[in-house]
């Protein structure tokens, strides 16, 4: 339900105003910091336009929010509604190909089977390759009646301008700088080890080992979580081609979530290195992201120069960029860590 998104009141207001005036766009781009929230909003919009017993209606009968309980809402929640199609990157390369887009286009162009609207949701739309994006343009320009396309992305800057210009973009609010509890707990151990070490080669390799261990734990947890959510666990009598498709989507989803969490983890480390830089400059004590780790940061700050502290931040930026390419993860992390100064 839209009431489940108190931090996205502006987005909800825009959508409900469009529903109320019967001016819902044919294609939306939801851009934000996390795909999970974007997917939840897309699912809520799909349920609302197809809800059998909406909680709120306008005088014209338009639904303003879903009930979350009718058969239509339940089927959309279970990803088995015949008129709501979800498209995700397939394979570990996380690419959305032309063939996959054409399947979606063919499905959307059919009349709704049981619902009011045909809905197509493209998760991680920034993974559309150029050929797929170009093939999709005609559908975006001339959508079939009673259809709704929702593109989701955390990296809109990676999308073609021709796609962006044909969608109504809704930017989701950032609730502020938040650090995952498990990441901050890990950072406490990491910073203590960095402070206790001498900053030499072996010390940096030990710190690299801490990062690699944490990432391995994250991947294992992601695998367990997404395996449990997958339709593969709920339906044993799937046809072979559908099972193969879901397995590919699951692999891609695991890789995508792992990369997101890896970015977050290294982002936490980046913010702590920023604290070290501030402490090195002996200024901005009230600007520390992790004041509870100030002692560890100060110990490292005493051992390195302001130039080295600033270079650490630049190296973290470079490492994050490299990890967005097809570079080998272990090698990129090793090279990046050995360039840091503690």
The CATH number given to whatever domain includes residue 316 is: 1.20.272
Whether 166 and 206 share a structural domain = no
Across the range 291-304, mean pLDDT stands at 92
The CATH number of whichever domain residue 73 belongs to comes to 3.40.50.300
pLDDT > 70: what percent of the chain? 94
User: Does 105 map to a domain?
Assistant: yes
Question: Is the distance from CB of 230 to CB of 246 less than 8 angstroms?
Answer: yes
Say whether pLDDT at 296 is over 90. yes
Whether 85 and 132 share a structural domain = yes
Question: Is the distance from CB of 90 to CB of 100 less than 8 angstroms?
Answer: yes
pLDDT band at 240, cuts 50/70/90? confident
- Which helix (H) or strand (E) element contains residue 30? strand 27-31
Say whether pLDDT at 284 is over 70. no
pLDDT band at 245, cuts 50/70/90? confident
Question: How big is the chain, counted in residues?
Answer: 342
Whether 156 and 191 share a structural domain = no
pTM of the model: 0.64
CA–CA gap between residue 73 and residue 79 (Å, rounded): 10
- Structure confidence at residue 177 (pLDDT): 53
Per-position b or e across 94-127, b if 16+ CB within 10 A of its CB:
bebbbebbeebbebbeeebeebebbbbbbbbbbb
- Structure confidence at residue 272 (pLDDT): 93
- Structure confidence at residue 243 (pLDDT): 78
Whether 265 and 315 share a structural domain = yes
CA–CA gap between residue 199 and residue 220 (Å, rounded): 30
Whether 200 and 269 share a structural domain = yes
Say whether pLDDT at 93 is over 70. no
CA–CA gap between residue 315 and residue 307 (Å, rounded): 12
pLDDT band at 330, cuts 50/70/90? very high
- Which helix (H) or strand (E) element contains residue 186? helix 181-196
Whether 198 and 95 share a structural domain = no
User: Does 176 map to a domain?
Assistant: no
Q: How many domains does the chain fold into?
A: 2
Whether 186 and 292 share a structural domain = yes
- Structure confidence at residue 59 (pLDDT): 65
Say whether pLDDT at 214 is over 60. yes
Say whether pLDDT at 282 is over 90. no
Look at 97-111, 193-207, 228-242 and tell me which has the smallest mean pLDDT.
228-242
Domain boundary among 135, 151, 171: 171
- Structure confidence at residue 24 (pLDDT): 87
Say whether pLDDT at 279 is over 70. yes
Whether 26 and 161 share a structural domain = yes
- Structure confidence at residue 229 (pLDDT): 77
Across the range 262-291, mean pLDDT stands at 86
Q: Chain-wide mean pLDDT for the chain?
A: 87
In the 8-state DSSP scheme, what is residue 158? Answer: G
Domain boundary among 171, 190, 208: 171
Q: How far is CA 57 from CA 24, 47, 63, in A?
A: 15, 14, 5
Q: How far is CA 10 from CA 14, 19, 222, 256, in A?
A: 6, 14, 31, 28
Whether 159 and 239 share a structural domain = no
Whether 243 and 139 share a structural domain = no
Q: How far is CA 206 from CA 166, 201, 209, 338, in A?
A: 49, 9, 5, 11
Determine the structural domain holding residue 271 and report its residue range.
Answer: 181-339
Domain boundary among 143, 171, 199: 171
User: Does 69 map to a domain?
Assistant: yes
Question: Is the distance from CB of 194 to CB of 300 less than 8 angstroms?
Answer: yes
- Measuring CA to CA, which residue among 179, 183, 150, 154 is closest to residue 167? 150
Say whether pLDDT at 22 is over 90. no
Beta strand 63-65 pairing with 56-57: antiparallel
Across the range 185-200, mean pLDDT stands at 88
User: Does 163 map to a domain?
Assistant: yes
Say whether pLDDT at 326 is over 90. no
Say whether pLDDT at 76 is over 90. yes
Whether 164 and 270 share a structural domain = no
Question: Is the distance from CB of 166 to CB of 27 less than 8 angstroms?
Answer: yes
Whether 335 and 221 share a structural domain = yes
User: Does 217 map to a domain?
Assistant: yes
Say whether pLDDT at 231 is over 80. no
């Amino acid at each position: 339900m839209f009431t489940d998104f108190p931090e996205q009141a502006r987005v909800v207001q825009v959508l409900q105003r469009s529903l109320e005036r019967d001016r819902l766009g044919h294609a939306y781009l939801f851009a934000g910091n996390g795909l999970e929230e974007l997917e939840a909003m897309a699912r809520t919009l799909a349920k609302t336009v197809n809800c059998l017993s909406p909680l709120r209606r306008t005088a014209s009968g338009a639904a303003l929010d879903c009930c979350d309980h009718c058969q239509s809402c339940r089927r959309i929640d279970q990803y088995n509604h015949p008129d709501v199609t979800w498209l995700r990157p397939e394979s570990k390369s996380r690419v959305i190909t032309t063939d996959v887009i054409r399947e979606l286009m063919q499905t959307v162009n059919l009349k709704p089977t049981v619902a009011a609207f045909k809905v197509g949701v493209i998760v991680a739309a920034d993974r559309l390759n150029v050929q797929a994006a170009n093939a999709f343009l005609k559908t975006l320009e001339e959508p079939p009646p009673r259809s709704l396309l929702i593109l989701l992305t955390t990296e809109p800057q990676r999308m073609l301008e021709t796609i962006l210009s044909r969608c109504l973009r809704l930017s989701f609010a950032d609730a502020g700088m938040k650090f995952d509890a498990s990441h901050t707990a890990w950072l406490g151990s990491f910073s203590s080890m960095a402070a206790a070490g001498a900053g030499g080669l072996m010390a940096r390799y030990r710190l690299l080992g801490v990062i690699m261990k944490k990432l391995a734990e994250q991947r294992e947890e992601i695998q367990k979580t997404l395996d449990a959510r997958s339709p593969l666990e709920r339906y044993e009598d799937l046809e072979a081609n559908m099972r193969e498709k879901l397995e590919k989507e699951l692999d891609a989803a695991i890789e995508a979530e792992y990369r997101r969490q890896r970015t977050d983890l290294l982002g936490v480390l980046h913010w702590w290195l920023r604290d070290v830089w501030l402490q090195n400059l002996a200024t901005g004590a009230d600007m520390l992201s992790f004041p509870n780790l100030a002692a560890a940061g100060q110990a490292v700050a005493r051992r390195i120069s302001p130039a080295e502290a600033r270079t650490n931040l630049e190296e973290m930026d470079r490492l994050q960029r490299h990890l967005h390419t097809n570079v080998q993860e272990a090698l990129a992390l090793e090279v990046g860590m050995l360039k840091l100064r503690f």
